[in-house]
Homo-oligomer: A and B are copies of this chain.
Amino acid sequence: MRTSIATVSLSGSLTEKLTAAARAGFDGVEIFENDLLASPLTPEEIRARCADLGLGIDLYQPMRDMEAVPAGEFARTLRRARAKFALMNRLGADLVLVCSSVSPLAEDDDALAAQQLYELADLAQDFGIRVAYEALAWGRHVSTYDHAWHIVETAGHPALGTCLDSFHILSRSRGPKDLEGIADIPGEKIFFLQLADAPLPAMDVLQWSRHHRRFPGQGGFDVAGLLRHVLRAGYDGPLSLEVFNDVFRQAEAGPTAVDARRSLLLLQEEAGLGALPAPVVPTGVAFAELVTPDAEPVSALLGSLGFARTARHRGKPVELWEQGEARVLVNTGPALPHTRLRASGGTPTDGTRLAAVGLESPDPAAAARRAEALLAPVLPRRRAAGDAPLDAVAAPDGTELFLCATHRPGLPDWRADFEDLAGTPAPGAAVRIDHLSLTQPWHHFDEAVLFHRGVLGLDAQESVDVADPYGLLRSRAVSTADGGVRIPLTVGAAPADATAHARHIALATDDVVAAARRFTEAGGRLLPIPANYYDDLAARYEFADGELETYRELGILYDRDAHGEFRHCYTHTVGRVFFELVQRDGGYRGYGAVNAPVRLAAQHAAR
């Protein structure tokens, strides 16, 4: 039989995946939308590449959340489908996968599902395309193959068939009897067969217990609630951590033990025991500090971004660059001994790197006392005679966190250690630092989240998975309630991957288009984003005239959430650091994670 493989099953860029599939002797591929969006090749070029390699494009996927939706939503669905069918014509693909809906908008109405799938198939037929409808195991109303087939049968359109997927069928199967209905489906209505195996059992409580325990505060249990019950019983013995965890088994014991005890200190605080100094939540980012062996490329980049060199440290080779409330220190001195980064992977210490962060603190000394009580190494104050005392602690990844005050009466001002340079800064478009993305060594991700929550009093958002071409990244942001401080912490699967481990500084602007133009006119290079990405945006959203063309020209990415909109673009990378220009409107809360796979692929391609 003909053999095919989904591009999502292989690592790398789309081109690398196609080459690997062809060399292994596959006849065709399923192209995943994300692989196409992230590719710099046009659909016609992808088609030609496949033809050269002797590969057919057997399936394009996926279309999601299409069926059994209210009429207004279905009109938008058809609009999106039309764009995708046109794309498939360019690709030379004639079969599209539609997964059963997981949308809360979907109704439990087989007749409506059949009717809308009929209309979709009718539209597809005009493009010479067939539609394969598949039940996801976690579909909202349709989750079994026989249910999906029943809807396809009811619809009765020649361009509509079903797709069977061994994972979705077998993950729900309670025995061979469940499979007997398959033989009753006419073979010609089974448009596609997807195969995957999976380990059994998925995860039982024993596996969960033996491999995936965490320290209190690093999982989803209410351990403090339990502790309160135990204290109420009158228990006064030890609080003992018994954590079976595959990662802790291989991580260096010293830092793990510190992480462990910090978790117990925070647990006791949460349960009303112990007396830690109260949290002092930072109110903003005072500065980000880049350490670099060569200030030239960094200075050029900062200049293009609209930063001006405004001051120089009185005693050390550190320059201050400013723009609005955004401040970047450029340190060309030797790396300080305490900034050692974990050997277990993480940002390498060579080249330009984001090594320190100044956090605006209402009470720097009190914030440092809490950090010290929570076992954060307090760093020797870097001061020459006359310097302002400056409280700083090391985060688990070695990043220096300065707890400081800028121009605030009654508090030592770190800015006072800097001597102003002549000249007034030209007004740039950035107004402040929106967020700082700090990649983490992979052994210590949960530790880093707990540190930032517990020591700095930041809130942790949900963890999100981000597909990098060469592995999956996990990202979890910590921030203040008002967004004054936002720090996405990210960990990559492959410790050796320099692209996935670069850190970045995101600058807030009121007008990202103006900022991007200003940057390129000043000689800066924005990360080029593939055209396919914009074709997809056009299918998903309606934009004002010319808006999308501007984004396409500049490489601006777009996202939307329940609160507002997000527009952002990226500079080229210097050493291990790049910048992002962002425009948040209407209370958008995220970081454009949906666009991260496209950005990461573009960064890999730009290397």
Contact = CB atoms under 8 A, between A and B. Distances in A.
| Size category of the binding interface on chain A | 35 or more
A435 interface: no
A3 B239 contact: yes
A254 interface: yes
A476 B226 CA distance: 39
Interface string A111-139: 00000000000000000000000000110
A115 to B, nearest CB: 25
A418 interface: no
A30 B219 CA distance: 22
A249 B493 contact: yes
Interface stretch (A258-266, A351-359, A381-389, A398-406): A258-266
A413 interface: no
Interface in A160-192: 164-172, 176, 179-180, 182-188, 190-192
A26 B257 contact: yes
A159 to B, nearest CB: 15
Interface string A18-33: 0111011111101000
Contacts of A263: 197
A472 interface: yes
Contact of A11 (B164, B172, B250): B250
Contact of A17 (B19, B58, B179, B253): B253
A238 B193 contact: yes
Contacts of A243: 6, 8-9, 196
A20 B257 contact: yes
A520 interface: no
Interface string A283-304: 0000000000000000000000
Nearest to A180: B229
Interface in A562-587: none
A195 interface: yes
Contacts of A20: 253-254, 256-257
Contacts of A183: 229, 232-233
A240 B17 contact: no
A21 B417 CA distance: 40
Nearest to A203: B203
The listed residue with most B CB atoms (<10 A of its CB), out of A170, A221, A256, is: A221
Interface stretch (A209-217, A532-540, A542-550): A209-217
Contacts of A137: 205, 209
B206 A138 contact: yes
A241 interface: yes
Given A219-B197, A222-B170, A240-B6, A187 B25 contact: no
Given A240-B194, A241-B6, A257 B23 contact: yes
Contacts of A186: 233-234
A17 B251 CA distance: 12
A193 to B, nearest CB: 6
Given A24-B254, A253-B20, A257-B20, A213 B197 contact: yes
A431 interface: no
Contacts of A27: 238
Contacts of A553: none
A375 interface: yes
A541 interface: no
A25 B261 contact: yes
Interface in A312-330: none
A306 to B, nearest CB: 38
B205 A138 contact: yes
A221 B240 contact: no
A212 B198 contact: yes
A6 B240 CA distance: 7
Contacts of A71: none
A245 B167 CA distance: 13
A260 B5 CA distance: 8
B257 A58 contact: no
B192 A240 contact: yes
A470 interface: yes
A197 B226 contact: no
Contacts of A190: 230, 233-235, 237
Which A-B residue pairs are the 3 nearest by beta carbons?
Answer: A187-B234, A200-B220, A197-B219
29 contacts: A1-B237, A10-B248, A11-B252, A11-B253, A11-B256, A24-B261, A25-B375, A27-B238, A138-B206, A164-B226, A170-B222, A172-B205, A176-B225, A187-B235, A193-B227, A193-B240, A195-B264, A195-B267, A196-B219, A196-B243, A197-B220, A197-B223, A199-B212, A199-B220, A210-B465, A246-B471, A249-B467, A249-B471, A250-B493
Given A3-B238, A3-B239, 20 more contacts: A1-B239, A8-B242, A9-B243, A17-B253, A19-B254, A20-B254, A26-B257, A58-B238, A164-B235, A165-B242, A170-B223, A182-B232, A183-B233, A192-B238, A194-B241, A195-B264, A196-B214, A196-B215, A198-B208, A246-B493
